[in-house]
Structure 1
Amino acid sequence: MPFGCVTLGDKKNYNQPSEVTDRYDLGQVIKTEEFCEIFRAKDKTTGKLHTCKKFQKRDGRKVRKAAKNEIGILKMVKHPNILQLVDVFVTRKEYFIFLELATGREVFDWILDQGYYSERDTSNVVRQVLEAVAYLHSLKIVHRNLKLENLVYYNRLKNSKIVISDFHLAKLENGLIKEPCGTPEYLAPEVVGRQRYGRPVDCWAIGVIMYILLSGNPPFYEEVEEDDYENHDKNLFRKILAGDYEFDSPYWDDISQAAKDLVTRLMEVEQDQRITAEEAISHEWISGNAASDKNIKDGVCAQIEKNFARAKWKTVVLPQPQMAVPPQPLMGASPQPPMGASPQPPMGVSPQPPTGVLLQPLMGEPHQPQKRAPCPLLKAVSHWPPRQLPPLSRLWPSRTAQPQGAQQARLHPLVKGKRLRAMPRSLGGWRPAEQ
C-alpha cells in the first residue's frame, strides 16, 4: 500500500507498531516541537536516512488534526523546494510521518559562515521560496507558517537548494479562511485584524523574510520594558495593521531600490493589492540583474547576532511539562506537554516560545503574566508563557457600552474606527466586554 498507511480516518485497519520497526531503525529524539517528536530514522532495506515525525494521538484533538493535515497536504505536493513525504504509518496510538532528510544548515547559519554575502545571494534564496510558494498556491494551498526557521538547505554542498518544511498548519483555500494562526512577527495585517484571508498571507511572510535577510532586523518590533507584555503585543500588532515599517539608515543605505520595491509590494497592507508569488518571480530583483553584488555581510551579520543572539537561538530549549499556561492565551493554543523527558534549560536561557500555532481570541479576562528572563530569540517575539490583551473596556472605555449579548459589529481593539462583524466564539469572535 502506498506510503504503508491506511486511508486517513479509517478506524479499523491500523498499522502495527512492528511494521514501523521492521522497516526503520528509529534513533533518539533530536527535537521536540509543539505537536510532535522528531527522530532520525534509517531505512533497513536501503540504508537511507530520513526524518521521522511522531504524533501521539493521546495528546489531544489538535495534535491528531495537525498530523492528519500534514499528511494530507504532503501527499498532494511534489516540488524540488519542498521536503517530500516518504512514508506514513498510522497505528492505534501514533502517527509516523517519514520525510526526506535535509542535512544542510539553516539560513542564518549559512549567512554567518559566508565570507561574502550580497543581495544576489538573498535573491537566490527568495526566488526558491517564491517558486515553491507559487506551486503551492497553484494547488490552492496556503502554507500559513512561512518563516526563516522553516527554511533550510537540503545538503551542505556549495550550491545546495533551499527547502520548505513544516506543513501542519497548511490549508486548502476552499473559500477564504477564518481562523487566525501563524507566528506573530510574520502575521499579515488581515490575520491580526481577524479578517478573512487566503494565499496573500504567504506573500506577506516572504516580505518579512526578505526584509530580515537584507538588513538583519525584523521589520516590526517594539522595545518596551521586560515585563510590559500587554503594551508590547498591542503596539506590535498596531504596527503590523498599519504597515508601519521603515528602511532604516544605515542598515538599508547600501540596498538597491529594486529590493526595497519588492519588499514594499510583498508587504502591502491591502491583501487584494499585494503582489502574488508568481508576479514576484518576474520582478527585476528576482529574474533580472537588479540585485546588487555589493558585500553586505558585515552589517547584516552584526544585526543578526544582536537581534537573534546566535549562541542562544541555536539552543533548543523546551517548555517544561509542569509550567502552568494561563487559559485563553493571546498567542498560540496551549502546547501539549513534551513527549518524553525535556532537557533542562541552560543558565540564563528561557524556554522558547511556541510558534506557528492557532491563535486564540484576543479578548478575555486579564491575568497576571509570569515573569521570565528576556526572550533570547528576537526582541519582538511573543513571550513565554503566552498572555492576552486586557478587556476592551481598559483600552477604550467609551466604546464598550454595548447591550449584553448584542451581535452587532464590534470595534476592533487595536485600530480606531475599524469594525469587524461578530463571529461565533468557536471561530475566534469578539465577546462583549460586559461578560
Structure 2
Amino acid sequence: MIDYRNLRVALLGAGAVGSQVAALLLKHADELADRAGASLELAGIAVRDLDAPRDVDLPRELFTTDAESLIVGADIVIELMGGIEPARAYLLQAINSGADVVTANKALLATHGSEIFDAADQVGAEVYYEAAAAGAIPIIRPLRDSLAGDRVQRIMGIVNGTTNYILDRMDVEGAEFADVLAEAQRLGYAEADPTADVEGYDAAQKAAILASLAFHTSVPLDAVHREGITQIDATLIEAARKAGYVVKLLAVCERLTGETSASGEAISVRVYPALIARSHPLASVHGANNAVFVEAEAAGPLMFYGAGAGGVQTASAVLGDVVSAARRHIAGGVGVGESTRANLPVVPIGRAVTRYQITLEVADQPGVLATVAGILSEGNVSIATVEQTVVDPAGVGATTETETGARVARLVIGTHRAREQDLSDTVERLAASDVVERVASVLRVEGD
C-alpha cells in the first residue's frame, strides 16, 4: 500500500509526444504509482493555444496557458514544448523551485545543457533526458550509469529517423533523393522544411549530448562537425552497393589518443554521411529506426536499436524518466548530477582518422593512374583499392569526352586510414590536377 503523498506532475506542451504522455499518465495511473512508490497526479498541461487540435482526447480542465503558475508547487516538471525559449526559462524556474525536470528537448540541452545542469547541481535537483537523444531507445542511462565504470572508446549512431528512411529507400529501391524526400514528407517522416534533418543539425545536437555523457566532457554544439545528405544521389548509393557498403548518416563520437592535452587524449565529434560495410550491425537498420553502436574498453561492442521518434514511442522514454524522478523524490537526497570532470578537448575534424572512398573522373589515357597515385602518396594517403570504369551515361556505348577529345574514366579509390586534414589537402591537389576532370565524391568509411 502506497502511503507517500501524491507527487504533482506539471506537463509543458501537448504535441505529438506531450499528449501521449498525458494520456498514459492518466490511463496507467495505478501501475505507475506501484512502480514509482507514489501516486503521480497530473496537475495540469501548459499549452500556447487551448483550442488547438490534439492527437489525444484529454480532459479540457487540465489545460492552461499559465505555465509559470503550473510550475509553482510541482514536484516533477516535464518539458515537451521544444525550442529554446521559453523552454529554457521554464526549466530553470522549475529547478529553482525545487522540482526535478524531465525533457526531450535535444536542441535546448545541446546549446544550454551546461547552464541547466549547473542550476540543478546548485539546488540538488536532477535533470532527466532519456528521450532527447534517440527517442524510445534507452541510451542515456546506459551511458550515464551502466558504463560509468568503463571507458567508452567510440560511439557510432544512426540518430535521425528521417535521413535513415530516405537513405534506406534510396538503397533498396534505387530512388533519387528528391523523390524519397517528397514521399517522406507525405508520410509525415519529414517536416515541410526538412533542413534540420537532411542537413544534419538534428543529428549534431544528439551527437553533442551522447559525446558529453560518454566522455564525461561538456561538448558544445559548435564543436560538432556537421554535414548533411543532400549531395547523396542514386549513383553514389549504387556504387556503395557494388562495393559492399551502405550509406548512412552517422554521428561519430570517439576518443583520440596521442594528443597534446594533459591526459594525452582528446575527442572527436562529427556527423556526416558515411559508407558502412553491409556486414556491420548498423547496416541492417532500416526505415525510420535509430541505432547506437557503443564500443567500450571492458564491455566491448554494444548495440541499442529501436524507434527513434514517434509520439507514443518517445512517451515511453519520458515516462521512464518520470518514474525515476518519483523514486528519487521519495528516497530523498540530492541529484546525482552530470560528470564532466574529464574536460577533454574537442578537436576539429581535421584531426580525425578514418578510411575514405574517393571517386574521380579522369582522362582515360596512359599515365593518369600513376599521376593520381603520386598525388595521394605525396599527401600521406595510401591506396587500398582502385576500380576503373569508362563513363557511359547513355548505357549503349557512348562515352563522355574531355575538352581535348579524350574519353573520361571513373576511378573509385579506397584508402587505408588517413588523417582528415591530409585527405582534404590531397583532394584539393587532385581537383587542381590536369588529369582530373572532376572530384565526383569523397565519402568516409566507418565501422572497420
* Higher relative contact order (Cα pairs below 8 Å, separated by 6+ residues): 2
For normalisation by structure 2, the TM-score amounts to: 0.27
**Which has the larger share of strand?**
2
TM-score scaled by length of structure 1: 0.27
